Amino acid sequence: METDDDVQAGANAAGVKTGGLNIDIHPLVIVNISDHGTRKKSLAKGKGVRVLGILLGVQEGRDVEICNSFELDYKVVGGAIQLNKDMLEVKAEQYKKVFDKYEPLGWYSNSPDKVPLGEVLEGDLQLHKQIAAIYENPLYLLLDTSMAPGSRELPMQIFESELHIIDDAPTFTLAKSTYKLKSEDAERISVDQVSRLSQTGTGSGSSALSSHLTSLNSAITMLQKRVQQILKPLEAMQRGDIPMDHNMLRQVQALCNRLPAVDNAEFDGELLDQQRDALLVAYLGAMTKGTNTANEVTDKYNLAFERQSRRR
């Protein structure tokens, strides 16, 4: 019976000893988790939201390579997290068709709040048991998304599953493991591009399209603020909160009189031409994609027919 301090600590949270697996993690996985957490946080209007997902990769003996991931849906019932297992099965089957060499290796979660090194979030062991009932010996990757921008350390921990006998009862524990980052040439280029982009979109790695969209967004935002500055006093005058300012009303009327100047046949014709051009490009793209798919099907059919002819 094991009663040492490390095992007792692992029964409550996570052990601190190093596991025996050789784990390689691709940057794409980290980008996926960060993007997942950022999107949920944006939808929650800046409030940190916990996200969950499944890790995909390849395992050969003690060598584990985590290459990709997909998101999971869940709900909280009575303070406990319950996974959407139907969604998990569907997504796992879809990814298996596309990436036939990848298999589920574990699950991931972000941490909206700071987590001490070597520890996990409350309820993680119960959630880990749900995953372990589906996949054997799953790994657990925890990404701390509460880190301030500019941090030079990667706020990520990975844990292995361990089963210990404590007080004559089998107990799941999580042992912190080591990992290495492994990237291919395409991933290095993509990650380097992402890392150079600043939050304002004006970093040295930003493209011309990014700069154009940023300028356009700033112009529209400024226009909206100016319109609100004109609209608010007009609404106050209409309600009778402030006295009528006839000089301001004449200036607003003069400004409004300029707007119909663009509403003419020539403007409508140019706008219609641009709309037609955009639709034409979309149609051509769809036709090109369909033609490419038809060519691939034809090639596969010819290859299969040729093999059958040789067998005969």
Q: pLDDT digit string (tens) for 243-284?
A: 988 899 999 888 888 776 666 777 788 888 888 988 898 898
> Tens digits of per-residue pLDDT, 2-26?
444 443 333 344 444 445 789 999 9
Inter-helix orientation angle 246-258/208-239, to 10°: 140
Report percent pLDDT > 90 for the chain.
19
Compute the average pLDDT of residues 80-98: 88
**Higher local confidence (pLDDT), 285 or 309:** 285
User: Residues 6 or more apart from 193 whose CB is under 8 A from it?
Assistant: 205
Name the band, by pLDDT with cuts 50, 70 and 90, for residue 193.
low
Mean pLDDT of the chain: 80
Residue 201: pLDDT over 60: no
Residue 309: pLDDT over 80: no
Compute the average pLDDT of residues 60-80: 89
Radius of gyration for the chain, computed over Cα atoms and rounded to the nearest angstrom: 29
Residue 303: pLDDT over 50: yes
User: Residues 6 or more apart from 206 whose CB is under 8 A from it?
Assistant: 196, 197, 198, 214
Q: Which pLDDT value is given to residue 149?
A: 64
Compute the average pLDDT of residues 86-100: 88
Dihedral sign for Cα 185, 187, 190, 193, please: negative
Dihedral sign for Cα 200, 206, 289, 281, please: positive
Residue 66: pLDDT over 90: yes
Report percent pLDDT > 70 for the chain.
83
Name the band, by pLDDT with cuts 50, 70 and 90, for residue 213.
confident
Q: Which of helix, strand or coil describes residue 115? A: coil
Q: Which pLDDT value is given to residue 14?
A: 46
Name the band, by pLDDT with cuts 50, 70 and 90, for residue 57.
very high
- Nearest Cα neighbor of 103 from 136, 128, 126 is 136
Residue 202: pLDDT over 60: no
> Tens digits of per-residue pLDDT, 214-247?
888 899 999 999 999 999 999 999 998 989 888 9
